[in-house]
Amino acid sequence: MILSNVSKRYGETVALSGIDLTLEEGKITAVLGESGAGKTTLLRILAGMLPFEGEVDGQSGARPKRREGCSYLFQDCMLLPNLTAEGNCKFVLPKGEWGKIGGMLERVGLRGRENALPHELSGGEKQRVAIARAFLFPHDLLLMDEPFSSLDLALKKSLISLVCELWAEKQSTVVFVTHDVREAALLAHRAVVLKGGEIALDLPICAPFPREFLSPPEEETLLMRALLQ
Ligand code: ADP
């Protein structure tokens, strides 16, 4: 996807300003930055959910269309409260493909929890349903807004390796928002740091997968410095 001179204003607030960015197909990009930097706005523009100034893939942002083949994992999971874990997955798939759901729920560690309603699930379990649903939905672009933010370290680590594994099978284009440098260092091929709606840093992360928390790649230190500046 190619973003050319993308800007977004909410009234007086400039959320994004003149973003030029090419997202390579089949790669994982982390979008980092402090709160209010414009990360979610960028994700929503990629999904075709918001009008904007500039162009994405040569299309003006004046009247955006929802992007087809785009799976979006929202910050707060957005599970349908009256549907079970399995029902939430069925909701995004045609009936002919429901056979895939059991296997996916098992892979994300929810065997035996298929019939639980969202209010019966822990935060981590809800996140697993949301991840299962996002990967089940047929997509070539996966957008995730702070998918691991509310989880403790061990859970975060296990869900990041799960996402890594699921991504490796499909190799779809992934863009995920985070404010945690370690998440970017573990999961992304590239980190884009936003500051005040502009790109402050655009850095490839070259370490091979799977990556380890305890031996942070050199890029992590670079990113950490860039964020602290
Ligand atoms: P981030 O995801 O990095 O926290 P956002 O993209 O949510 O940043 O927001 C960028 C800026 O735009 C912030 O100043 C925020 O307050 C503002 N903003 C976001 N959404 C709206 C909205 N719907 N109405 C008005 N201002 C908004």
DSSP per position, the chain:
-EEEEEEEEETTEEEEEEEEEEPPTT-EEEEE-STTSSHHHHHHHHTT-S--EEEETTEESSS--PPTTEEEE-TT----TTS-HHHHHHTTS-GGGTHHHHHHHHHTT-TT-TT--GGGS-HHHHHHHHHHHHHHS--SEEEEESTTTTS-HHHHHHHHHHHHHHHHHH--EEEEE-S-HHHHHHH-SEEEEEETTEEEEEEE--PPSSP-SSS--HHHHHHHHHHH-
68-123 pLDDT, tens digit per residue, is 999 999 887 789 999 999 999 999 999 999 999 999 999 999 999 999 999 999 98
Mean pLDDT of the chain: 90
Q: Tell me, what's the pLDDT at 214?
A: 47
* Residues in contact with ligand 1 (CB, 6 Å cut-off): 10, 13, 15, 33, 35-41
119-172 pLDDT, tens digit per residue, is 999 988 999 999 999 999 999 999 999 998 877 788 888 889 889 999 999 899
In terms of phi and psi (left: phi > 0; alpha: psi -120 to 50; beta: otherwise), the region of 146 is left
In angstroms, what is the span from residue 41 Cα to ligand 1's centroid?
7
Give the residue carrying structure tokens 């440098």: 181
Q: Tell me, what's the pLDDT at 77?
A: 75
Query: How many Å apart are CA 55 and CA 20, to the nearest integer?
Result: 9
The band of 227, judged by pLDDT with boundaries at 50, 70 and 90, is low
Mutate to test the pocket of ligand 1, among 7, 9, 10 (most ligand atoms within 8 A of CB): 10
In angstroms, what is the span from residue 84 Cα to ligand 1's centroid?
32
